[in-house]
Structure 1
Amino acid sequence: MFRRTFWFTTGVAAGVWATTKVNRKLKQLTPESLAATAANKALEAGHRIKERAVDFALDVRDGMAQREEELGDALGLYAPVDRDELPAAHRYAAIENRTTPKYVEGSTYRKNSYNSHNRNEDH
């Protein structure tokens, strides 16, 4: 009798366990559950990609800064400059020269289409 009770209880427990396991699996295979699982997986993948993209962007920025520093050193951009060695600044006159023929009195210079000051024009 003890043996029958043991096997009956074991069978009931196994049936309950199997029924629970099958019901959980069926719930996981419903369309709503599958959609929710897919959405969660997509969000997780998106977060992982975003983290990697941020890390990549930071690495690229560090590499750019390092390369700019190397180029600046190679070109001498960061070397101290002695003001005495710099060439003089070019200065341009703001007023036209009044001794040109068009301003001199008695000059035969006439401003017309034949006397163009266009340097690109053939003379």
Structure 2
Amino acid sequence: MFRRTFWFTAGAAAGVWATTKVNRKLRQLTPESLAAQAANKAIDAGHRLKEFALDVRDGMAQREAELGEVLGLNGHPDPELPTQRRIRAIGGGQPGDNKQIKYIDNTTYSYNRNEDH
């Protein structure tokens, strides 16, 4: 009698366990669940990609600093360097007028937006 009760209980427990496992797996395979899993994986991949980009940016800044130090680019600029060669000044006038662009080195160019280039 105990033997039959034991096997009946063991069979019922195995059936409940198997039913629970199958139902859980079926819920994981529904389209909504698959879409949610894909979205979570995409978010995780995005976070990893962002972390990678930040690491690359930090490494790049560190390497630029090292190269600047080695090449002497981090110091103050030389005060004896020449000023900018060409400073542009657009002449006055009414809108639609042909304006002249004159540079310090005395070259002059026409500035007309309606002109075919």
TM category (shorter chain) comes to: 0.5 to 0.7
How many pairs does the alignment contain?
Answer: 80
Aligned pairs for 1:1-123 within 5 A = 1-72=1-72, 78=75
Q: What SS does the aligned partner of 2:72 have?
A: helix
> Counterparts of 2:38 and 2:75 in 1: how far apart (Å)?
54
Please report how far the alpha carbon of residue 78 of structure 1 lies from its aligned counterpart in structure 2 after TM superposition: 4.3
Q: What is the CA distance between 1:55 and its match in structure 2?
A: 0.8
Please give the alpha-carbon distance, in whole angstroms, between the structure 1 residues aligned to 2:7 and 2:52: 56
4+ residue runs over 3 A deviation: none
**Residue deviations 1:4-34, cap 9 Å, x none?**
0000000000000000000000000000000
> What percentage of aligned pairs have identical amino acids?
65
**Larger strand share, 1 or 2:** 2
TM normalised by structure 2 equals 0.62
Give unmatched runs, 5+ long, in structure 2. Answer: 81-105, 107-117
| TM-score (ref. length: structure 1) | 0.59
- The residue aligned with 1:104 is none
**Whole-angstrom CA distance in 2 between matches of 1:33 and 1:53:** 30
Aligned partner letter, 1:53: A
